[in-house]
Amino acid sequence: GEAASYAVMEHPDACQVDSLGRHRPALCPGHPRFREVMERWFDAAALTGAPVVLLDEPHLFVLRLQRTAAKWCCCCARCRLVFAERFGRAMPETWDEDVHAFIEALIAEATIWLIEAAAARDLGSAVLLLPDEGYDAALWRRVAALPGVVAFGTDPYHFGLEPDPIANRAFVRLWGERSVAATA
């Protein structure tokens, strides 16, 4: 998130690593430490009496819209191991369809786990997913329908669009319609 994360200082072994081998200041959402940190956070949120937690744009350190074949996350030791188990080969150095599928699954699995972990503490989840080229209508419907999701939507960021009011309105409309469709 935007706030400083002490978790990355306390658990550097659980941080994301980009495809260039650089340590990134965010925990890998597939790492057990990430889940431990989030469970403690959910416990603390539940103690406050808050009815809902905001799961704001679950994503990896390098935003999907900024990734390139030479720059993406997460390539930490755990992700490399899980990738090899799922695809029967070492994680490649450059982006390919298997990497795309792995990254999308990593984010989806983490998001679903977060919603379920919050619900186990009687916390509702307000979920905002990023609008991006990895859009999967079935996944959006699945997330929106999970028990515990009390609000669902997206942030209509228009990365890369020119400041064209007509194009921007069309972009916001598209993602608004997709959000509504997911909650139908």
Q: Which residue in this structure is represented by tokens 């550097």?
A: 12
Q: Tell me, what's the pLDDT at 174?
A: 92
Q: Tell me, what's the pLDDT at 179?
A: 94
Q: Tell me, what's the pLDDT at 160?
A: 66
Q: Tell me, what's the pLDDT at 1?
A: 44
pTM over 0.85: yes
Residues (pLDDT < 50) of the chain are 1
Q: Tell me, what's the pLDDT at 64?
A: 54
pLDDT single digits (tens) 10-53: 999 999 999 989 999 899 999 999 999 999 999 999 999 999 99
